[in-house]
Structure 1
Amino acid sequence: MTAGTEDGGSFSSKVIRMVFFILLLDLLGFTLILPLLPSILDHYAQTGDVTYQSLQNVVGWFRAAVGIPMEKKYNTVLFGGLIGSLFSLLQFLSSPVTGVLSDRHGRRPLLILTTVGLISSYVVWAVSRSFNMFLLFRVIGGICKGNVSLCTAIVADLPCPKARNKGMAMIGIAFSVGFTIGPLMGAYFAVASRTTGNVFYQTPALIALAFSVADLLVIWLMLPETLTKNVKAASSGTGGSRDLLSPLSLFHFTAVTRTKDPPSKERMQKLRVLGLVYFSYLFLFSGLEFTLSFLTHQRFQFTSMQQGKMFFFIGVIMALIREDTLEESNRGNISGPFARPSLP
């Protein structure tokens, strides 16, 4: 199904609704583990796992190199940073590949593929009884976590600027709801599972698995393809693929300069500055959301439930801000990070 088979407005509205539900289910599964990570790593630290101890040596080398005090309270924070960095590094390497493949084969097939990968990662988490298996779960998840960028690409495919603005705002709302409910659910089911003696948090893993399976069904049964045949044909060149796979070329927006109607030098400079600012913002924000649970765990001895409530409070504030953004998009006045960039 393509945009030509339906009325443009109703097609865009359907796509935006589907993107919202797909991203919401994805983020609910992703955020379940956020308040649990400190406790999970504390558990493996006490078991004397060989792999854990080997990576702990890497953390010790890093701590000595940057001059961090040799105190036990920093161990979990730095180790959590190592696990988070591995996850993010794999995303950084795999996201350009996912983007290139989606430009060639369509958004829907790649969403199905990445969601199947996430399902497999949650299966590994659910059956894990060792740190090796838990680490494998994070590795698979990092490689396959392309749903957010693919949903953004789907919204960018929409023909109407107003629909794109609304779609970007709805993506923001999905983030708000996901980060509001997901961590609280993860903490609740973790507490419930620990009362039965399950220290591996199998129940939150099964809940995350259920969200991903539901996500796959929504994509398979209800999401239309938004990438037109013209765009697929334009993306078939190997040179353009190299530009989209090279991190240096991505920062310089080299692929944009090879289009039929490339922007002027002034516009390209503004685009590169905008891209660098957006990258820096996402880089810093991602570090904040991942390390916050470790900070509160070490500094204030927050339990998993207290961290879930903390994320709930943050999510409510985010939702209120996103609601104002959506109202602006409906009036056609949206600007800022949720608007589609347009160069003068």
Structure 2
Amino acid sequence: MSALNKSPEDGESSYSSKVINIVFFILLLDLLGFTLILPLLPSILDHYAQTGDAVYQSLQSVVDWFRDSLGIPMEKKYNSVLFGGLIGSLFSLLQFLASPLTGALSDRYGRRPMLILTTLGLMSSYAVWAVSRSFSMFLLFRVIGGICKGNVSLCTAIVADLPCPKARNRGMAMIGIAFSLGFTVGPLMGAYFALSSKATGAVFYQTPALLALAFSAADVLFIWLMLPETLTENVKASSSGFGDSRDLLSPLSLFHFNAVTRAKEPPSRERMQKLQALGLVYFCYLFLFSGLEFTLSFLTHQRFGFTSMQQGKMFFFIGVIMALIQGGYARRIKPGQHIKAVRMAIITLIPAFILIGLSWNVTMLYAGLALYAFAAAVVVPCLSTLVSDHGSASQKGTVMGILRSLGALARALGPVVSCSVYWIAGAQTCFLLSSASFIIPLVLLRQAGRLKEE
């Protein structure tokens, strides 16, 4: 399909609206397939533990060492959370490596071909999951998925290609809504179809795996038939491709956005400083945020005796609030107001973490979670919008891929650090320290705001 390009004055043109709606549907299908496994992970781990799988037992020894080092009680629920966190960190580390490369390739060859390729890769991973009968096959499914999970960074790059700031803001908010709906509805579907799979006598995860495969197949078909290419041939031709591969693989180079600095037409020094500051804000925020996500399961089980169903309802509550905020407030934030909105949301997280950490009843816990959900609905879409303004038209995929990579690194490291503090120093200390640590992204955000004023 030929690329279409409209003038900035068209803003909320039919073209921009069409692209945004298509991206929303593509990402929703992708996330529904991705989140089906979330409520099943503890049961899947128990399943392989009972089979005496050798690969599982070797990884279990790593989890046991970590648990013993921190003094975590020997309890089945804690073991499932820790083992799931280990697999989640592996997935995030693969995302950290793959996202910049996927983004750079999309700058050279186009968003549409790369989106089709990564979705086909996800299809193959779900096919491996559907036929897996050993833990090594299950790990292979997660490895392929981690390498090929480029849909999010590619979809944000597509939105970044839109010429009008207002349209980009709306597009990033719609991506946020897709996340909220996917993480709210997908786990419920996974739990339901696992039960129906058990009723037929099949392995309980087979029906969810086949459903995830179907979602990916539908996604490929929808991308093929509906998605226009948002890069012109001239922009593709002007792309420098990979450049120095170290710029896309070295953590230090990623934090400095060196792949953008060494482009044919690099941004000004002030804009690069702002981009680097925004990348650090994004990393720090997700580092602290993902730590709470991970330790929240420990706190609710330890302090309130939450069952898996009660925790599911808790995350459903968070997802609904996020969807409402993103559908109402976040997508109406005006250009030029995003730093102010991010600052307000991060400030909101300080009392949120205090309320959750000190909560002595469920009402207090949910009050903290409501503030937490508000911040979660605002920060990432707004930061994505701000970062999408940087880099030339031939670098949007690289820029958004690097941002996604920094987020994946934060999600790989945050849970490990937060879990260690939680069990060594206690829940209250962990959450109060995290609350105070949000001063760091606030200072970095202030720096970015000053650079904008200059």
**TM-score after normalising by structure 1:** 0.89
Q: Is the 8 A contact 2:104 2:242 kept in 1?
A: no
What are structure 1's unaligned runs of at least 5 residues? none
- Picking from 75, 79, 97, the partner of 1:75 is 79
CA deviation after TM superposition for structure 1 residue 164, in Å: 0.5
Counterpart position of 2:307: 302
- Classify the secondary structure of the residue corresponding to 2:37: coil
The 2-side partners of 1:170 and 1:98 are apart by: 22
Q: Which amino acid aligns with 1:246?
A: S
Aligned to 2:274: 270
Q: 1:27 aligns with which of 2, 27, 31?
A: 31
Would you say 1:244 and 2:248 are equivalent positions? yes
Report the 3-state secondary structure (helix = DSSP H, G, I; strand = E; otherwise coil) of the residue aligned with 2:209: helix
Letter in structure 1 aligned against 2:4: A
Contact 2:165–2:335 (8 Å) recurs in 1? no
The Cα offsets for residues 195-225 of structure 1, whole Å up to 9 and x where unpaired, read as 3333441111111111111111110110001
Match of 1:282 among 256, 262, 286: 286
Please name the residue that 1:319 is paired with.
323
Aligned match for 2:15, one of 11, 14, 39 = 11
Question: Which amino acid in 2 is paired with 1:211?
Answer: F
Deviation at 1:176, TM superposition (A): 1.1
In structure 1, the residue corresponding to 2:229 is in which secondary structure?
coil
Is the contact made by 1:38 and 1:293 (CA closer than 8 Å) also made in structure 2? no
* Distance of aligned partners of 1:293 and 1:63 in 2 relative to their CA distance in 1, 3 Å threshold: closer
Whether the 8 Å contact between 2:255 and 2:279 is mirrored in structure 1 is yes
Whole-angstrom distance in 2 between the partners of 1:121 and 1:169: 28
CA distance in 1, matches of 2:193, 2:228: 34
CA drift of 1:177 comes to 1.0
Quick one: structure 1 residues 254 and 332, their matched pair in 2 at CA, closer, same or farther if it must change by over 3 Å? closer
Deviates more, 1:196-205 or 1:85-94: 196-205
Secondary structure in structure 2 of the residue aligned to 1:129: coil
Per-residue displacement from partner, 1:10-40 (whole Å, max 9, x unpaired)? 2211110110000000011111111111111
Q: Check whether the contact 1:108–1:219 (CA below 8 A) recurs between aligned residues.
A: yes
- Which one of 205, 213, 216 corresponds to residue 217 of structure 2? 213
For residue 167 of structure 1, the aligned residue among 171, 174, 185 is 171
Which of 230, 236, 239 pairs up with 2:234? Answer: 230
Matched with 1:87 is 91
In structure 2, the partner of 1:61 is: 65
**Distance in 2, Cα, partners of 1:321 & 1:105:** 35
Task: Supply the distance in 2 between the matched residues of 1:100 and 1:259 (Cα, whole angstroms).
Answer: 12
Between the aligned partners of 2:295 and 2:119, the Cα distance in structure 1 is: 26
Q: Is the CA contact 1:80–1:294 (under 8 Å) kept in the aligned structure 2? A: no
1:183–1:205 distance in 2 versus 1, CA, 3 Å: same
| Cα distance change, pair 166–290 in 1 and its aligned pair in 2 (3 A) | same
Partners of 1:186 and 1:236 lie apart in 2 by 42
RMSD between superposed Cα atoms in Å: 2.6
CA contact (8 A) 1:117 1:141 kept: yes
What is the CA–CA distance in structure 1 between the aligned matches of 2:20 and 2:216, rounded to whole Å?
19
Partner of 1:2: 3
- Alpha carbons of 1:38 and 1:46: their partners in 2 closer, same or farther (altered >3 Å)? same
Determine if contact 1:35/1:186 at 8 Å carries over to the other structure.
yes
**Structure 1 residue 295: deviation in Å?**
7.0
* Structural mapping, 1:168-187, within 5 Å: 168-187=172-191
Letter in 1 for 2:307: F
Per-residue CA deviation, residues 124-179 of structure 1 (Å, 9 max, x unaligned), is 11111221211111111111111011100000011111111110011011111111
Distance 1:90-1:56 versus aligned 2 partners, 3 A rule: same
5+ residue gaps, structure 2, are 343-378, 390-450
Q: Could you report, residue by residue, the CA deviation over 1:265-310 in whole angstroms, capped at 9, with x for unpaired residues?
A: 444333212101102323444455566568767884634x555444
* In 1, Cα distance between equivalents of 2:221 and 2:293: 29
Are the equivalent residues in 1 in contact too, given 2:5–2:230 (CA < 8 A)?
no
Q: 2-side partners of 1:131 and 1:236: how far apart?
A: 41
* Residue type of the alignment partner of 1:302: T
One-letter identity of the residue aligned with 2:131: V
Q: Distance in 2 between matches of 1:201 and 1:80?
A: 16
Query: What do the CA deviations read for 1:61-100 (whole angstroms, capped 9, x no partner)?
Result: 3334x43336244322221111111111111111111111
Report the equivalent of 2:118.
Answer: 114
Q: Which amino acid aligns with 1:46?
A: Q
| Corresponding residue of 2:153 | 149
How many angstroms does 1:49 deviate by?
A: 1.0
Aligned partner of 1:142: which letter?
G
Q: 1:181 to 1:81 in 2, by over 3 A?
A: same
Question: Are 2:116 and 2:220, in contact at CA under 8 Å, matched by a contact in 1?
Answer: yes
Length-normalised TM-score, structure 2 = 0.69
Q: Which AA in structure 2 matches 1:24?
A: L
Q: Secondary structure, in 3 states, of the residue corresponding to 1:239? A: coil
Larger mean CA deviation between 161-170 and 2-11 belongs to 2-11
Q: Which moved more, 1:198-207 or 1:252-261?
A: 252-261
Q: Distance in 1 between matches of 2:188 and 2:86?
A: 24
The range that moved more, 319-328 or 144-153, is 319-328
Aligned length: 341
Distance 1:14 1:141 in 2: 28
C-alpha displacement at 1:260, in angstroms?
A: 5.1
